[in-house]
Structure 1
């Protein structure tokens, strides 16, 4: 939309909607997804990230975030999806179906389980349903790759970082260290 002088007034309206009402609605959807906690449940800063077990950039983000997570400053809520390889869904299911998914995810991302985690062959229905919902949520919030990370910026606006965040963005995403 253009005004009488040819200024684009529609772009600002779209940006305001995308970083305002739509972003807040997306945040609520992320809260209701089936996520695995990484970090202290009492950490005030919450970050959501879509994670595929076969994603090397997800693993790199996990490692890069350790100083913030280990300090207790941030909790990362991993929303597992299985989109990259044929066994991604089975591996995501194996992590989610574990008696302690947080521990299995940590060991997996630390490489102690990366080579030995067996994909679930017979996915329990409730785990399959959770993974399908996570995938639907991923599509509905506009994420098309992993990691896709959602966070509140310094002004409180919901932002998304698609792909591995560059080092220069880590403090914006995870807060000051």
Structure 2
């Protein structure tokens, strides 16, 4: 299996270079083939944010529980979730020895969104470690889910976390790796700009 790394900018979609050669709405983004949508839309994920009739925009994010840039993306998206964004966090477990245990804990939680919030609000930036206790034993079913998510991630040509998938112009899906600039979020999410006041994020404006 290809080694994965947590990185600020992923190369993204190398396996589909011909399709991705077109520039997407965000400067760092690439278009995905229309046939790819069903794969990530059906991936096992932790769903957070708006629901039902309140959903105005949907985002899919491949993440590792210990990835610091996934943590920063989570923080940046919180105001947009309050404005109608629904986020499907697709967990993988590769970055650290306890990543799979933490990802499995998210999968097993009765309220995955609540545990995800705990993971992020108690995230240790010093240690680059998600703030929940990993499961001591990852079941075969959970490991299979995580393996399937990693395989999907690689099949789509992605190389680093976080990788965000959003619906761009004309309903086409595009991906971008790493933490986008805050100024790019409204266009990517098709939502009005929201105030992001977290001091940690100001350098990413």
TM-score (norm 2): 0.72
Alignment check: 8 A CA contact 1:154 1:172 kept: no
Q: Which residue of 2 aligns with 1:75?
A: 86
1:102 paired residue number: 113
CA distance in 2 between counterparts of 1:137 and 1:24 reads 15
Q: How far is 1:15 from its partner?
A: 4.1
Counterpart of 1:46 in structure 2 is 58
Structure 1: gaps spanning 5 or more residues = 1-10
**8 A Cα contact 2:118 2:132, kept in partner:** no
In 2, the alpha carbon distance for the partners of 1:115 and 1:49 equals 16
Cα distance in 1 for residues equivalent to 2:20 and 2:110? 44
Separation of aligned partners in 1, 2:18 and 2:104: 41
1:156 pairs with 2:156: no
> Which protein is bigger by CA-based radius of gyration?
1
Aligned to 1:117: 132
TM-fit CA distance, 1:128: 1.2
Q: Does structure 1 conserve the Cα–Cα contact (< 8 Å) formed by 2:40 and 2:152?
A: yes
Q: CA deviation at 1:82?
A: 1.1
TM score, norm. by length of structure 1: 0.83
What's 1:3 paired with? none
Comparing 166-175 and 45-54, the one that deviates more: 166-175
- Counterpart CA distance in 1 for 2:95 and 2:20 is 31
Which has the higher relative contact order, 1 or 2, with Cα contacts under 8 A spaced 6 or more apart? 2
**Segment drifting more, 126-135 vs 165-174:** 165-174
Equivalences, count: 163
Do structure 1's residue 65 and structure 2's residue 116 form an aligned pair? Answer: no
Q: 1:37 aligns with which of 47, 51, 62?
A: 47
